[in-house]
Amino acid sequence: MTARRRVVIAAARRTAIAPRGGALSRFQADELAASVLARLIADGGLSEGRIDHVILGNALYGGGNPARLAALRAGLPPSVPALTVDTQCCSGLDAILLGARMIEAGAADCVLAGGTESFSRAPIRMHRPQSAEARPVAYDRPAFAPPPYEDPDLAAAAARLAAERGVLRTVQADFAVQSHAKAAEAANALRDRLVQVEEPGADRDSFTRALSLQTALRAPVLAGSGDTGLSAATICCQADGAAAVLLVAEDCLTRTCPAENGRPSMRIVAGLTAGGDPAAPALAPIAVARSLLAGLGLEAASLTTVELMEAYAVQAMVTVEDLGIDPRRLNPLGGALARGHPVGASGAVLAVQLFERLRLQEDLAESAQFRGMALIAAAGGLAAGLVVEAGPDPRRAKAGND
């Protein structure tokens, strides 16, 4: 049996994340993604013809093929195929996992994969009438699970989880405050890394702010009630943005990406998409993480960094508690509560944040021990996880030869 090929994330980029109606509101999802894809091609020193496939996640457009539009806008030749994936919040990370599996199977050497979303420009959704006399009926979201499964509103499901686990509003608010504080601290280090679009205010994650506990506690309760309700501060905001990575087969990394320029890379160790109870979507990532760690013979304590989607503060807090994740290693550059949630892109944003965390690790010895996990839940009880480690790094090779 032929050994499975190793896959490396050779480059990773994202746009800034902006709230719905904010700095990125005039851009379609494919326009946001195109700028990221073009930058990744430049980062890798690639000719456009070296790309075998483009795979992007998208959740809100409900038609067309944004990945194809983005690929053509980015200057890729028409011969490069493109695929759009929709697993809602998991879409961006699932796109990366799918691209990695294509390379592992020998179906590609080089794939651009990630996700893109524009809440601001997403189509208005309407059910087509069943008779000439009837009128179209607008809807906010499709069904995520059919009867007899429960298909709760996601905020209501998170509020129920908070009540069941006794996670107080004050504790949730403090978690959100810490997310903003970490994002604010990392902002300068990340600003030059964000793919720029020509729009005022689009050079930074504009939702990040100096949030105090007092301010967070004054935010109105949007789901649940009493001591455990979820507020505008502890539910991530709807947002626009794009993120993607350059996936390359490790056995052809040098010839595929001649312009690595000493940048670190991440090797994909394992990945998994799985389903859980649609009534409790926030809990699905816990089983995914446990399965990944058990398959690798690892404990959560061995992870250097965990990038966990903060759709709701309570969802992230319960996941951290149940998995035994060291809070000091959680979302060290800030989480989605401080950025926002561009649904189809959010999973890919987590992968990019892992890459940035490795890049910012200045100590070579510590970099060599880097091991990270990205983890995200989705409507309908889905979840996706990715485990990475420090990959081939010319910095370490040079240090060893000095």
pLDDT digits (tens, 9 = 90+) for 49-70: 789 999 999 999 877 899 999 9
Whole-structure pTM value: 0.94
Burial of 401 (0-12, 13-18, 19+ CB in 10 A): exposed
**Residue 55 φ/ψ, nearest 5 degrees:** -130, 120
148 has a pLDDT exceeding 60: yes
Confirm if 288 and 324 have CB atoms less than 8 A apart: no
Answer whether residue 194 is part of any domain. no
Please tell me the least confidently modeled range out of 1-15, 16-30, 54-68, 272-286: 1-15
Whose tokens are 């539009």? That residue is 69
Answer whether residue 160 is part of any domain. no
Classify strands 110-118 and 239-249 as parallel, antiparallel or unpaired.
antiparallel
312 has a pLDDT exceeding 60: yes
Answer whether residue 300 is part of any domain. yes
Q: What pLDDT does 199 receive? A: 78
Give the contacts of 363 (CB within 8 A, at least 6 positions apart).
Answer: none
338 has a pLDDT exceeding 50: yes
Answer whether residue 378 is part of any domain. yes
- Residues spanned by the domain of 97: 7-122+237-389
Answer whether residue 204 is part of any domain. no
Q: How many domains does the chain have?
A: 1
Mean pLDDT of the region 16-27: 96
The radius of gyration of the chain from alpha carbons, rounded to an integer in Å, stands at 20
Q: What is the pLDDT of residues 80-137, one digit of tens each?
A: 999 999 999 999 999 999 999 999 999 999 999 999 999 999 999 899 999 989 999 9
Q: What pLDDT does 401 receive? A: 42
Confidence band, pLDDT 50/70/90 cuts, at residue 272 = very high
394 has a pLDDT exceeding 80: no
Please tell me the least confidently modeled range out of 85-89, 274-278, 364-368, 375-379: 364-368
261 has a pLDDT exceeding 80: no
Answer whether residue 28 is part of any domain. yes
**Residue 273 φ/ψ, nearest 5 degrees:** -115, 135
**What is the C-alpha to C-alpha distance for residues 312 and 172, in angstroms, rounded to an integer?**
9
Q: What pLDDT does 257 receive? A: 65
Confidence band, pLDDT 50/70/90 cuts, at residue 140 = confident
Q: What pLDDT does 402 receive? A: 41
Answer whether residue 222 is part of any domain. no
Mean pLDDT of the region 136-143: 90
Q: Which two tokens stand for residue 211?
A: 């949030």
Cβ atoms within 10 Å of 153's Cβ, excluding its own: 12
CATH number of the domain enclosing 23: 3.40.47.10
Mean pLDDT of the region 278-302: 96
Mean pLDDT of the region 250-259: 69
